[in-house]
Amino acid sequence: MTNHTPTPWKVEQRQGQEFYMLTHGEIAVLRTFGDSKGDLEDIVRARICVNACAGVNPEAVQDLVAFTQNIRADATPGSHPRIYESPEEIRNAAHSVLAKAKLP
């Protein structure tokens, strides 16, 4: 990611509806309102997303999403026209998008 979102992020509940997002010594205080269970799920989801993206080139995220959507469209019965005509096309597209993202 970037220098202002070092990983890993952690979440700790302190008291009641107050949670802390911990990032390498930095602390963000997050308070839930109303549906604290739903808010906590959103906080945890944010932590998981940031940690999962560690090391990914931010400029590649849009391409990664597009590739995933294309694969899903091709796997949907009755979806025409097909985006990828062969397994080789899928491999080439995957290699290209992962190289941009700097993932193995």
Each residue's pLDDT tens digit in the chain (104 positions)? 445 567 787 777 666 666 666 666 666 666 666 666 667 777 788 888 888 888 888 888 899 899 999 988 888 887 777 888 888 999 999 899 888 888 64
pLDDT confidence of residue 1:
40
How many angstroms separate the Cα of 53 from the Cα of each of 16, 29, 50, 58, 60? 30, 22, 5, 9, 11
pTM for this one? 0.56
pLDDT confidence of residue 67:
92
How many angstroms separate the Cα of 91 from the Cα of each of 27, 71, 100? 41, 11, 14
pLDDT confidence of residue 2:
46
